[in-house]
Amino acid sequence: MGPKVAVLGAGSWGTTFGKVLADGGARVTMWARRPEQAHEIDEAKRNSQYLPGINLPRSIRATHRLAKAVEGAEQIYLSVPSKTAREALKQLRPLVARSDAPIVSLMKGVEKRSGMRMSQVIEEVLGCDPDRIAVASGPNLALEIAREQPTAAVVSSTSLETAELIARTASNPYFRTFVNTDVAGTEFGGVLKNLIAVAIGIVDGVGYGENTKASIITRGLVEMTDFAVAYGAQAETMHGLAGLGDLIATCQSPLSRNNTAGRLLGQGYTLQDVVSHMEQTAEGLGSVEPMLKLARAKGVEMPIVQQVKMVLDGTMNPKDIAPHLTTDDDTPQGERTQNGQDDRGGALRRAFQRARDLFRDGGGSARRDRS
């Protein structure tokens, strides 16, 4: 018998992660806000709105009662939109006041008002030890994983023991989990890649080709790294699963909500139209403004993200985003690949080395992410 776990949030990612945990042997109870959705998961083992065509493990249970979902849970996973995280945590707090269960964030956003990462919101609202908190991130498109296509993720916590505990639980034959202790880097990677994915979607919607998109992805990784390092993260984390891995998956796939949102913007839809059209939250749309505010506070330049904001604000034609990949200054610049330095391709070389190592190393379920 595996650990008893609760997954709070029954959208595509929450439901998929519940499946990952159940297929790894955990006893999973899902919490869904709507009673009819909880009933479908519990009885039919389906979530037809968010994961059409996917059969869920028969062992998964579901309820719309939060207290019932977390009763006796040894691990609690949070998969709600970042904009509603604080309110959800306030409801959770009295239910876990006497628990020492690890709290795991599956969320990839920042709080718009405060700019806080989700692990920081969890710590503040629940008043729990940071060593109990973990975050999971990586190239994780929900529908592909629900179809059991092989992938990997990284779990991060200030406590390596907590990270390894969660990694063991969140591993199965098609889902492998690495660990690290760079919580800031792991979370920022999951947030920042969404912003670059919106930019990719915009130029895709406009009709630009692979050269434009490759340029934005490459320069976007520089912006991600500069930002994360300014806030205490390790540069190498941006070249691992939570950074480069998630960036590639999110930018290239039509399954990505942020890519889809950007593509609609590029086709001429307004931000309000896009938000109305999307069935699920595209976290990148709400993260642009707070992330730019944080960047300005540290003096970090993020020209691609700034261009995305201008498109969102309606002050830039989507067709004009590509020529402004780096700067409005015509002075030739060095190709910064890491932390504002020209390292003659070293960062890119290390990223590909890391990718090769990941594919080559097939053993073990909880590994140190050396990105």
Q: What angle do CA 269, 274, 277 make, to 5 degrees?
A: 120
Distance CA 307, CA 286 (A): 15
Q: What is the chain's length?
A: 371
Q: How far apart are CA 282 and CA 349, in angstroms?
A: 31
Q: Are 270 and 221 in contact (CB under 8 A)?
A: no
Angle between helices 303-313 and 283-297 (to 10 degrees): 130
Query: Quick check: 238 and 228 in contact, CB under 8 A?
Result: yes
| Torsion angle, alpha carbons of 334, 242, 261, 48, to 10 | 160
- Which residues, in sequence order, are CB contacts of 11 under 8 Å at separation 6+? 50, 79, 280
Catalytic residue among 193, 213, 298, 309: 193
Which among 278, 273, 295, 282 is positioned nearest to 195, based on CA atoms?
282
State yes or no: is 112 an active-site residue.
no
Q: Residues 6 or more apart from 297 whose CB is under 8 A from it?
A: none
Annotated catalytic sites, by residue? 193
